[in-house]
Amino acid sequence: MKKIIYIFLPIFLLCSQSCKDKDDNSGPDIPVEPPLATNLTLLWETPLTVTNSLVGSSIPTIIDDKIAFAKRSVNPDITSEFIYMDKNTGEEITRWVNDDGVSTYGLSYSNGEDHFFGSGNTTYHINPETGETIQKFTDLTAGDFKVFGIEDYVFHAVATPNLHELMAYNIETLESKVLLSKADTAGYNANIKWCTPVISEEGDKWLYIMNAYFIGTNPSSSKLEMYCYNVTTDEMIWDHKFETIFPAANASEPGQLSNKNLIFNAGPYLFALDKLTGEKQWEIKFDWNMGGNANLVDDEKLYVLDGTGGMYRFLVIDAETGNIIGEQAGVKGLTSNMVRYKESIYYASSSDGQLYSLDRHTGKLNYKTQAPFKAEDADRFFLNGLAIDEETGRLYAFDWVSALCFQIED
């Protein structure tokens, strides 16, 4: 089986109030304008619009010589499909058209040979070479639009009105089994949100799973449970149940892993649990509800964007202690997902039409690059997702109008 290629990165945008480190009492930061540079060479651009339709796309997934992204046109006709493009030329290879009337948005997974995504109660297994559906796994009556995978397993949260289950599907045998089942109870509605797959030091397949119980039917108030499950041995390793009632805990996206910790957010909190025992290591209380996991673990660092009033700062946080170890003020606009290449972190602004490069050790801005579009189109640049091809040093960007490929020159 070929090398696993998957992306666990959030699409959600950040909220807009300033966050502070638990020991940070400093005043407001002075905006610093980063240098404008041309360290990215545009290799190709492929328009995504047809007859002026508004097109959205998910975070792209690199599959061998292809790059796949979910496309949804909302005017004049509603269509949902996966487009598979040649990553070297931008030419379309094939496409998968959704004939079930459900959305293709969310996180997808590829093992390098096959492609999977979830929508409602169905997990779709697609051949990226032909665009054909190989298999459909259908369970219960509803479900999430995200799937997660590792080696020969794909995971998808499905539900009925009173029950949530995390399913595991074996790619080789096509067998399925329930890993975690949570029912509504005592005024709380079960809501399994995500899982983070990892290979343990012993070679077993582990999952870190979040369940965020809604209070009644209100997703803005939740009780949070975290689980560590061994798929290989079919046993629960640990669980951690929080007593705190969290605002918008359901907004959390897949947890990030450092050398020692599982790190994730719940409402305005950022947490670190020991990934072997589930014991809490630290927490940071932000002044705003984080709209999903806006951080990326790199060795022992987290990268977080926060801000207020349209001006943002970029933070580098020590993954072992929760302390801020780097900061850059003066960042404009909300952000796409963040991706790393060598010594830099890249993200794009949805408000000023800039692509930002930051030093991954300090958070300081290296440069920003203007979108290669007309000025009136700048505010929609990179609204959605970025992907990095580590082997070639190419950066792929998808927004409402075009798919683009840049060569990174630094």
User: H or E stretch including 221?
Assistant: strand 218-230
Interval 220-246 mean pLDDT:
90
Whether pLDDT at 315 is above 90: no
Q: What is the pLDDT of residue 1?
A: 37
Secondary structure of 267-331 in HEC code, one letter for each residue: CCEEEEEECCCCCEEEEEECCCCCCCCCCCCECCEEEEEEEECCEEEEEEEECCCCCEEEEEEEE
Whether pLDDT at 21 is above 50: no
Q: What is the pLDDT of residue 62?
A: 93
Percent of the residues in the chain that have a pLDDT greater than 90, as a whole number: 39
Where is mean pLDDT largest: 37-46, 186-195, 355-364?
355-364
DSSP structural state of residue 108: -
Whether pLDDT at 79 is above 90: no
**Residue 27 vs residue 365, higher pLDDT:** 365
List C-alpha distances in Å: 173 to 152, 276, 388. Answer: 9, 30, 32
Kindly report the average pLDDT of the chain as a whole number. Answer: 79
Q: What is the CATH number of the domain that holds 395?
A: 2.130.10.10
Residue 85 CA to residue 57 CA, distance in Å, equals 13
* Dihedral sign (CA 124, 129, 131, 135): negative
Q: What is the pLDDT of residue 313?
A: 78
DSSP structural state of residue 343: T
Least confident range of 33-47, 191-205, 368-382:
368-382
**Residue 267 vs residue 7, higher pLDDT:** 267
Encode pLDDT of 144-174 as tens digits.
888 999 998 999 999 998 899 999 999 889 8
Interval 173-198 mean pLDDT:
88
Percent of the residues in the chain that have a pLDDT greater than 70, as a whole number: 74
Q: What is the pLDDT of residue 338?
A: 85
Q: What is the pLDDT of residue 52?
A: 47
Whether pLDDT at 384 is above 50: yes
Encode pLDDT of 100-155 as tens digits.
767 777 789 998 889 998 888 899 999 999 999 999 999 998 888 889 999 989 99
Q: What is the pLDDT of residue 337?
A: 80
The residue written with tokens 């951080």 in the block is: 295
**Residue 97 vs residue 21, higher pLDDT:** 97
Instruction: Confirm if 148 and 109 have CB atoms less than 8 A apart.
Output: yes
Residue 339 CA to residue 316 CA, distance in Å, equals 14
Tell how strand 132-138 and strand 122-127 pair up. antiparallel
Interval 253-266 mean pLDDT:
90
Q: What is the pLDDT of residue 291?
A: 53
Q: What is the pLDDT of residue 260?
A: 95
φ, ψ of residue 23 to 5 degrees: the values are -110, 10
DSSP structural state of residue 333: S
Q: What is the pLDDT of residue 235?
A: 94
Whether pLDDT at 80 is above 50: yes
Q: What is the pLDDT of residue 326?
A: 92
Q: What is the pLDDT of residue 276?
A: 96
Encode pLDDT of 320-355 as tens digits.
999 999 988 877 666 678 889 999 998 877 666 678
The residue written with tokens 């960007």 in the block is: 397
Q: Which burial class, exposed, middle or buried, applies to 376 when counting CB atoms under 10 A from its CB (0-12, 13-18, 19+)?
A: exposed
**Residue 351 vs residue 184, higher pLDDT:** 184
Q: What is the pLDDT of residue 41?
A: 87
Q: What is the pLDDT of residue 189?
A: 83
Q: What is the pLDDT of residue 149?
A: 94
Encode pLDDT of 206-231 as tens digits.
999 999 887 766 656 788 899 999 99
Q: What is the pLDDT of residue 279?
A: 97
Q: What is the pLDDT of residue 320?
A: 95
Q: Tell me how far the alpha carbon of residue 107 is from its chain's centroid.
A: 7
- For the chain, how many structural domains are there in total? 1
Domain holding 386, by residue range, is: 5-408
Residue 410 CA to residue 408 CA, distance in Å, equals 6
Whether pLDDT at 57 is above 90: no
CA 332, 335, 341, 344: dihedral to nearest 10 degrees?
Answer: 30
Residues linked to residue 107 through DSSP beta bridges, in sequence order: none
